[in-house]
Amino acid sequence: MMKPIVLLFLVCLSWQTTQSQQHTWQEAFKILGIAWNKDGTLNRAIQIPMVDPTPYEDSVDPKPPALSQDIYLSPYSKAYVRLYIPLNPPKNKKLPLIVYLHGGDFVLFSASTVIFHNFCNDIASQFPAVVVSVEYRLAPENRLPAAFDDALNAILWLKNQSLGIGGRDPWLEYADFTKTFLLGSSAGANIAYHTALRALDFDLRPLKIKGILLNQAYFGGVRPTQSETRLINDAYVPLYINNVLWSLALPKNLNRDHEFCNPISGGTYLGRVFRLPKVYIKGDYGDPLVDRSVQLAQFLTSCRVPVYYRFNQGGFHGNELQNATAAQELYGDMKWFINDVNGLLEMPEGITTHLHASQ
């Protein structure tokens, strides 16, 4: 079970003591723990601990819930994935393959950050599943679509692994490549969505993406939604912090109605949406970003994409990383979504195919 932890990347709780409605870039940078270096890169002062992989049961004490290893995808770059398998994977059946994209507002953190490492340990052991956590490049040093490119490259690497091109990592022998799912939280959900759309242009066989799971997806737009206005001074993702983060993540001279930020605004992806597999969307009405997920769910439904939703009362952005009950509810939903291959398993209470209006 995941240990509660304070999510510094969501915005330090010092925000709660700030009463002024006028904010500056300098204030946002201070809260986020970032500063410009002279070469245009960011100095990221706030660091949630990073942890090494645990490739053996005795790598740490107590023993980990799952095994993990880092695999570099190219000798010419720093691109890598962290691969997870259960401690005792079944020998008589293959496991679903989950490609995970971590959160951090496109600007912060890593696949090795402890909260995301623990999350992947949990889903690898509890589902069980083979999990591939993608290390993607961060903005503003590498603005979007760099993160989308890195996620797609990881999927293409997995396709080669499924074909045995250049050999296959022994741990991936446990994976069922025909049951691949993309999973992301916050910014990672945005990356998962765009990567799924981009992947439609490629022949991935025998790998097959069977579904997409979007948890509290990090989307935006020029015009604030009702939830963003209602929760403008939210303790975790206040609107002015969002504005700064999107300015760092998007290509220069593009606004927040670009498709990288606002997936229902139009753009190059619209002709592909109807080809998406089933989608799970989870949001919380205490999260300023929730209306973006509601809008996406409405849009996907209009495109006849099979969509399953859970929109909870209350909550906040990232609550499953601090609240064990919320985490287990999310795990239960995801486990059902991934294992319900033929549509025969009972849907967990609280999931629906009908949309809720903003609360």
Compute CA distances 36 → 206, 209, 250, 274, 358, whole Å: 45, 39, 17, 41, 37
**Catalytically annotated residue among 105, 150, 287, 333:** 287
Whole-angstrom distance, CA of residue 244 vs CA of residue 126: 37
Please give the sequence-ordered ranges of beta strands (E in DSSP) within 8-109, or none if there are none.
34-36, 42-44, 66-72, 80-86, 95-101
**Catalytically annotated residue among 102, 117, 258, 317:** 317
| Cα–chain center distance at 53 | 20
Task: Tell me how crowded residue 343 is: count the other CB atoms within 10 A of its CB.
Answer: 8
Positive or negative CA dihedral for 246, 251, 255, 257? negative
**Catalytically annotated residue among 186, 227, 234, 284:** 186
Phi/psi for 283 (5° steps) reads -145, 170
Whether 287 is catalytic: yes
Question: At a CB cut-off of 8 Å and minimum separation 6, what does 331 contact?
Answer: 122, 123, 126, 127
Whether 333 is catalytic: no
Whether 117 is catalytic: no
Type of residue numbered 70: D
Task: Tell me how crowded residue 285 is: count the other CB atoms within 10 A of its CB.
Answer: 20
Whole-angstrom distance, CA of residue 125 vs CA of residue 88: 9
Tokens of residue 193, six digits: 């969505």
Please give the angle made by the CA atoms of 207, 301 and 299, to the nearest 5 degrees: 100
Whole-angstrom distance, CA of residue 207 vs CA of residue 165: 13
Whole-angstrom distance, CA of residue 140 vs CA of residue 107: 7
Catalytic residues: 186, 287, 317
